[in-house]
Structure 1
Amino acid sequence: MNELRPTMPAFETGAVSHAGRVRKANEDHLVTRPEFGLWAVADGMGGHENGALASATVAAALEGIGAASSAPDLLARLEEGVLKANAELREIIEAKGGAPMGSTLVVLLVHERHFACVWSGDSRIYLVRAGRILQVSHDHTEVQDMVDKGVLTPDEAKRSPRRHIITHAIGVHDQPELDLNNGELESGDTFVLCSDGLTEHVADEEILLAVREAAPQAACDALLALTLERGARDNVTVIVVRYQREDGEKTRWLPNMRSEAP
């Protein structure tokens, strides 16, 4: 019996992943499955071997997600894949005597005109629309919690030595914790998924400028080059996904979005 394959909008995808200038191995993994309406970045934690294994386990669980019959079905398939990866990691951790291991995750899901952004940890997803940029995800970190409570300012958070302490990740707890943001696609929408190796060195307005001025793969290459130029202390992974219709559809700005560059 053939799987249902929805008619997918026209997407152009660029992707790049690099170990950076300091670390010897790349613990990031990425997934690009436009035929299923899924793109993802996983950033492993727990040291070289454990981190790479954690992100690879998450990526493998998402690679086989398959084509969905509806937006709710696609989300359910993602949740099933995440639960599977989380259970596998919990088993590995137990077999390794409690070794620290986990992975951040950020996912873009698309079915017809619907999109959903799902995340756990501090890997990010941005939406560029009508020349503006919005960070769709909200970092799961100690310092972000402190910013939300008014204890730190955003500038203080950027300088905090605790800015990389993550509060959610796949494999860390028996049940994974995910957040979701969703909406309707507009022609020209461009999504940027990345590990924190990019945002450690590159500001939001610089991401906007790179994406606004280049095709997706060229934008990925430019963002990687900028990160490497600035020292690339961590692994860096970037996916850029651009949606384009040919029927003259006009783009609309979403409420509460803010411009990050002129």
Structure 2
Amino acid sequence: MNPMHPYRYAVQTHVGLQRKVNEDAVLALPDHDIWLVADGMGGHDAGDYASRLIADSAAMIPGGLDPAAKMHALRDALQGAHRAIQAEATARGGGTIGATVAALIMAQGHFAGIWAGDSRIYRLHGGQIDMLTADHSVVAEYVHSGKMSWDEADQHPQSNAITRAVGVGEDLELDKVRGTAASGDRFLICSDGLTKYATFSMLEDILSSTPLETVAERLVQVALTGGGADNISVIVVDVL
């Protein structure tokens, strides 16, 4: 274990059972303590372009930055991807191209999450799971108003209708969450291809009981067993 980077992680992405192309992108930058999932929209050759551009933009962040500068650089990278995707959409005739993003930054006993869309970050702490992000989606409004739970929202016919994405709309608005990270905490970053099939209790059970070596595969298998209608991406980060 490197005391400068006291984290271990596992990454898995799968095309699923019904899609021909994986429009998700995953990125692990252990030297930066940054992990990211992006879920593309706009169909083959557009969604995968958008998600890959987001991952590639984040991968260009220079090393050796302090935590505040790192967060600033990640925001700048996502804003740059937003403008580049918009330009590409215009060049292709003006259709919608975009991608969700959820990124986790770890630093000196703290975490920060940044996101747009319905890719999520969860934390398992003391055996209990919390969803750290809040979907930018039509059904999220129902959850916030108390009409349904997140588990119910994931099964709603409009669950795919997102209200925010990188590359879509004039300005990219990113939400942020931050807090302390304790030894033994486990973070999950994932696309909605997992959360369509995995309830909070299922995630809590799997994250609590599965070693890092197999946890990502086990989560993907849950989605495949459920039907695998979408691409599935998971990153699990353990704080040592």
1:64 aligns with 2:51: no
Alignment partners' CA distance in 2, 1:197 and 1:168:
17
Contact residue 86 and residue 174 of structure 1 kept, 8 A:
no
- What are structure 1's unaligned runs of at least 5 residues? 1-5, 245-262
- Is residue 154–residue 195 contact of structure 2 (8 Å, CA) maintained in 1? no
Deviation at 1:184, TM superposition (A): 1.5
Q: Which residue of 2 aligns with 1:105?
A: 101
Note the C-alpha offset of 1:66: 2.3
1:143 aligns with 2:139: yes
CA-atom RMSD in angstroms: 1.5
Q: Are 1:32 and 2:28 an aligned pair?
A: yes
Poorly superposed stretches of 4+, deviation over 6 Å: none
Q: 2:186 aligns with which of 159, 175, 190?
A: 190
* 1:136-166 residue CA offsets vs partner (Å, 9 max, x unmatched): 000110111133234x322653442112100
Overall identity of the aligned pairs, in %: 34
| Gap change, CA 1:7 and 1:176, over 3 Å in 2 | farther
Question: For residues 226 and 121 of structure 1, what CA distance do their matches in structure 2 show?
Answer: 22
From 119, 123, 148, the equivalent of 1:153 is 148
1:217 pairs with 2:216: no
Q: Does residue 241 in structure 1 map to residue 234 in structure 2?
A: no
The offset of 1:34, in angstroms, is 1.2
Any stretches of 5+ residues in structure 2 without a counterpart?
none
Question: Cα distance, 1:75 vs. partner?
Answer: 0.7
| TM-score, scaled relative to structure 1 | 0.87
Size of the aligned set, in residue pairs, is 238
TM-score where L is the length of structure 2: 0.95
Tell me if 1:81 matches 2:87: no
Moved more, 44-53 or 207-216: 207-216
SS in 2 for 1:222: helix
Q: In 2, are the aligned partners of 1:15 and 1:217 still within 8 Å (CA)? A: no
1:34/1:175 Cα in 2 relative to 1: closer, same or farther (>3 Å)? same
Of residues 215-224 and 83-92 in structure 1, the stretch that sits farther from structure 2 once superposed is 215-224
Aligned amino acid, residue 217 of structure 2 = D
Counterpart CA distance in 2 for 1:112 and 1:158 is 34
Kept in 1, the 8 Å contact 2:36–2:189? The answer is: yes
Structure 1 residue 7: deviation in Å? 6.3
